[in-house]
Structure 1
């Protein structure tokens, strides 16, 4: 950490790379559809992991460069339709200390999840992780196809947030936080790297301890 932070009124979390790792599940959802459609593409974990945090339009262009946008969107919709049930059965890996940490943090802050994922995926994650009672609201890129800075502002306006912070794991998360005009907390255990942050934590337990200690 490099700054002493003013106590926020709310914590807005990124999902993938911040709360859990579901890359294997996401890759399986792609490969199931490609196989069913007879498309000769195999999505490997390492390749998909480097795209975590990207907006959907960028992901599908990268994965399907030889298809036109209409076909990409059609396949992506099919992938996401199957992803909900796959999350329920395969789940992912919740990072160490997340479930307990959210339980504690919710006693002191309003907690939100905001991610560049398809509509409904955050809800599937919340249900799988059993954290519904701790999360006040969530917002996904797939709801309006707008960048995170825009959706951070929508959440803040909807809930009257005066001093939120965004917690994520990528350079893009930091950039979007800056545009939104709020502090960025970087978690180094996720998928990305950046030196542009207001605070950094190497694990979720330390993050929880810090924010629980603010007065």
Structure 2
């Protein structure tokens, strides 16, 4: 194994409180009479932005949904960069240990600028070689994983994520999937499972053995 590709939300951190505050601010500024809850965000985790808009803004037509999502994102990225999110326990120490033996990457179903906001606040970018998302490429998560593999000449990567969509994306890219069971989704089909990030280094050693 030469590399690890991570999902972001539900795998490396929980950004829901920060994202929720920024999105509700956007809705208020646009005069949209709705207040989103943490449960609303939880049920959309792992989806692309246009899919999230369809679920959260059912009262709007497609064009209005897209505009509302764009308005949310315009506030979200700088807000996340300023306030950060809740890192999962032992994240930095785990990344530090993994970085000694593997190249690390992020592929998330987020908008352009979101991963950069995560990097900006938490100062973890030096652990990662590259990242990708549909906000930049317009591609599916599986296609973005494949793009990262091709661009960085990865021969034997593994993908770590917390949802069935993550598992499907890893399968589409033809690589093993490790289920982060502490995240937001439920997955039954996986090559490995962790209940906390601190378990990942030891699990990966069994992959190599």
TM-score (norm 1): 0.92
Of residues 134, 144, 152, the one that matches 1:141 is 134
How many pairs were matched up?
208
Matched, 1:70 2:99: no
Asked if structure 1 preserves the Cα contact closer than 8 Å seen for 2:167 and 2:190, the reply is yes
- Alignment of structure 1 residues 103-122 onto 2, 5 Å: 103-122=96-115
State the Cα distance separating 1:212 from its structure 2 match.
Answer: 5.6
Between the aligned partners of 1:63 and 1:46, the Cα distance in structure 2 is: 11
Q: 1:97 to 1:209 in 2, by over 3 A?
A: farther
Matched, 1:195 2:188: yes
Deviations 1:166-204 (A, max 9, x none): 100011110111111110000100000111100001110
The runs of 5 or more residues in structure 1 that have no matched partner are: 1-7
Asked if structure 1 preserves the Cα contact closer than 8 Å seen for 2:18 and 2:80, the reply is yes
- The list of structure 1 runs, each at least 4 consecutive aligned residues, that deviate by more than 6 angstroms after superposition, is none
Of residues 43, 47, 60, the one that matches 1:50 is 43
Helix, strand or coil at the partner of 1:133? helix
Deviations 1:30-82 (A, max 9, x none): 11011011111111001211211011111001111122222222221221121
Helix, strand or coil at the partner of 2:47? coil
Between the aligned partners of 1:163 and 1:57, the Cα distance in structure 2 is: 32
Matched, 1:158 2:151: yes
The runs of 5 or more residues in structure 2 that have no matched partner are: none
Between the aligned partners of 2:205 and 2:96, the Cα distance in structure 1 is: 11
